[in-house]
Amino acid sequence: MIPINVLTSTAVPLPLPNIDTDQIIPKQFLKRIERTGYGDFLFFDWRYNLDTPDHVEPNADFVLNKPEYSGSKILIAEKNFGCGSSREHAAWAINQYGFLAVIAPSFADIFFSNAGKNGIILVRLSDENVETLMQRSTANPKHVITINLEEQTVTDDQGFKASFEIDPFRKYCLLNGLDDIGLTLRHIESLDTFESKHDHDFWNAPKA
């Protein structure tokens, strides 16, 4: 995981609520056993027209195919982003496409967790603030947004400024690019103690 603090970038507006992980990465790409290479399949069904089963063409109307938005590192969406399936492939696809942050009024729980494990900053702003940024990025693809994780703020050059909440521990991990398993293993003694007792609780054992 790469540590991140300040992110300054143009943003891609995707003005839809309840964008589910089936849209972020459709099922057919979940058969792969690799952890990389998902960026090309991000929003596949929206991004490509299917002319024949074997031939896809980019859908020129979809925002990711508009050249003026290429290179953006921030995605803006409406409420409940990432709902549905637990597939971490959704976080991989977003990240591997090049997005480092998503701004929305709310996120689904499992996606929220998956994004954190992949160093993606999820910024929760009010409906009004998201709407303002959505409008500015829609009107002007060159509109630049700055997310400052340390200060927990989102700003732009037109005087927009909003602060966002983030769990202090999640922030600490993002800022330092920390490996989760390593962090847990700091508690190995507690774990060993707990487990040696818990293993006697046969009513909790998967295989009695």
Partner 1 sequence: MAAKTLFEKVWEQHIVAEPAGEPTLIYIDLQLVHEVTSPQAFDGLRLAGRKLRRPERHIATVDHNVPTTSAQDRLVIVDQIAAAQVNALRKNCAEFGIEFFDVQDASQGIVHMIGPELGATKPGMTIVCGDSHTSTHGAFGALAFGIGTSEVEHVMATQTLPNSRPKTFLINVEGELPFGVTAKDIILDIIGRIGTDGATGYVIEYAGSAIRALSMEGRMTICNMSIEAGARAGMIAPDETTFAYLKGRRFSPKGEQWDAAVAHWKALPTDAGATYDRELHIDATTLAPAVTWGTSPGMTTTIGASVPTLNDAKSDADRKSYERAFEYMDLKPGTPMEEIRIDTVFLGSCTNGRIEDLRAAAAVVKGHHIATKVRAMVVPGSQAVKRQAEQEGLDLVFKTAGFEWREPGCSMCLGMNPDILQPGERCASTSNRNFEGRQGRGGRTHLVSPEMAAAAAITGHFTDIRKWKDVASTLPPTLPVEQMLVEGGSR
**Choices 60-68, 107-115, 137-145, 155-163; region in contact with partner 1 by CB under 8 A:** 107-115
Q: Which of 2, 33, 60, 139 binds partner 1 (CB under 8 A)?
A: 33
63-99 b/e (C-beta count within 10 Å ≥ 16 → b): bbbeeebeebbbbbbbbbbbbbbebbbbbbbbbbbeb
In single-letter form, the type of residue at position 24 comes to I
Task: Give the 3-state DSSP-derived string for 93-130, with helices as H, strands as E and coil as C.
Answer: HHHHHCCCEEEECCECHHHHHHHHHCCCEEEECCHHHH
Spatial distance between the Cα atoms of 49 and 30, rounded to a whole number of angstroms: 20
Locate tokens 């409940």: which residue? 80
Spatial distance between the Cα atoms of 45 and 69, rounded to a whole number of angstroms: 19
Q: Which residues, numbered 178-207, are part of the site for partner 1 (CB under 8 A)?
A: 180-181, 183-185, 187, 190-191, 194-195, 198, 201-207
Q: Which of 4, 7, 45, 155 binds partner 1 (CB under 8 A)?
A: 45
Query: Strand, helix or coil at 162?
Result: strand
- 126 contributes a contact to partner 1 by CB under 8 A: no
Q: Are 9 and 154 in contact (CB under 8 A)?
A: no
Instruction: Count the residues of the shown chain that bind partner 1, applying the rule CB under 8 A.
Output: 59
Output the smallest distance, CB 193 to partner 1, in A. Answer: 9
For the chain, the straight-line distance linking the first and the last C-alpha, in angstroms and rounded, comes to: 39
Q: Which of 3, 8, 28, 175 binds partner 1 (CB under 8 A)?
A: 28
Q: Which of 72, 78, 104, 133 binds partner 1 (CB under 8 A)?
A: 78
Q: Which of 68, 71, 169, 175 binds partner 1 (CB under 8 A)?
A: 169
- 175 contributes a contact to partner 1 by CB under 8 A: no
If the CB atoms of residues 66 and 187 are measured against partner 1, the closer one turns out to be 187
- 165 contributes a contact to partner 1 by CB under 8 A: no
- Give me the residues that bind partner 1 (CB under 8 A), please: 15-18, 20, 22-23, 26-28, 30-35, 45, 50, 78-80, 83-89, 91, 106, 108-110, 113-114, 117-118, 167-169, 180-181, 183-185, 187, 190-191, 194-195, 198, 201-208
